Amino acid sequence: MESTQPTITAPSHPVPEGPIHPGGGRRVGWRRIFAPIGAVLVAIAKLGAQAKALLILLPKLKLFTTAGTMLVSVGAYSLIWGWSFAAGFVLLLLVHEMGHVIQLRREGVKASAPMFIPFLGAVISAKSLGRDAAAEARVGLAGPVLGSLGAAAVAALAIATGSDMLRALAFTGFLLNLFNLLPVVPLDGGRAMAALSPWAWIVGFAMIVALAVFFPNPILILILLFAGLETWRRWQTRRTPEAQSYYRVAPHIRILVAATYLGLVALLALGMTATHLPRNFGS
Instruction: Return the pLDDT at 54.
Output: 40
Instruction: Record the pTM.
Output: 0.71
- Is the residue at 4 inside a domain? no
Percent of all residues in the chain with a pLDDT value above 70, rounded to a whole number: 75
Same domain, 250 and 117: yes
Q: Is residue 50 one of the residues assigned to a domain? A: yes
* Average pLDDT of the chain, as a whole number: 79
Tell me what pLDDT residue 35 has. 53
- At residue 20 the predicted structure's pLDDT band, cuts being 50, 70 and 90, is very low
Model confidence pLDDT, tens digit, residues 244-256: 888 888 999 999 9
Same domain, 40 and 137: no
Is residue 108, in this structure, part of any structural domain at all?
yes
Domain membership flag for residue 161:
yes
For residue range 195-211, what is the model confidence (pLDDT) as tens digits? Answer: 887 777 888 888 888 88
Please, how many CA atoms are within 13 Å of residue 276, restricted to the half-sphere of its CB? 11
pLDDT at position 246, please? Answer: 85
Taking residues 58-80, report their average pLDDT: 76
Domain hosting residue 51, numbered range: 31-60
Same domain, 213 and 97: yes
pLDDT band at 31 (very low <50, low <70, confident <90, very high): low
pLDDT bracket for residue 2 (50, 70, 90): very low
Average pLDDT for 90-118: 91
19 within some domain: no
Domain closes at, from 60, 80, 109: 60
Q: Mean pLDDT throughout 118-145?
A: 88
In a domain, 242, yes or no: yes
Q: What percent helix, strand, coil does the chain show, rounded to 5?
A: 70, 5, 30
Question: Is residue 35 one of the residues assigned to a domain?
Answer: yes
Highest mean pLDDT among 126-130, 217-221, 247-251: 247-251
Spatial distance between the Cα atoms of 154 and 174, rounded to a whole number of angstroms: 10
Distance of CA 77 to the CA centre of its chain: 16
Same domain? For 100 and 89 the reply is yes
User: Do 257 and 205 sit in the same domain of this protein?
Assistant: yes
Number of compact structural domains in the chain: 2
CA atoms of 170 and 154, how far apart (whole Å): 5
Alpha helices per DSSP H over 181-217: 188-193, 199-214
Q: How far apart are CA 89 and CA 95, in angstroms?
A: 10
Question: Where are the extended beta strands (E) located within the chain?
Answer: 115-117, 121-123
Do the Cβ atoms of 68 and 59 come closer than 8 Å?
Answer: no
Do residue 49 and residue 70 come from a single domain? no
Q: Is the pLDDT of residue 39 over 80?
A: no
Per-residue confidence (pLDDT) for residue 5, from 0 to 100: 45
228 and 164 within one domain: yes
Residues 197 and 233 in one domain: yes
Residue 121 has pLDDT above 90, yes or no: no
Sign of the C-alpha dihedral, residues 131, 133, 136, 142?
A: negative
Q: Is residue 120 domain-shared with residue 249, that is, in the same domain?
A: yes
Whole-number pLDDT of residue 55: 41
* 166 lies in the same domain as 245: yes
Given this model, what pLDDT does residue 168 score?
Answer: 95
pLDDT at 236 > cutoff 70: yes
Asked if residue 11 belongs to a domain, the reply is no
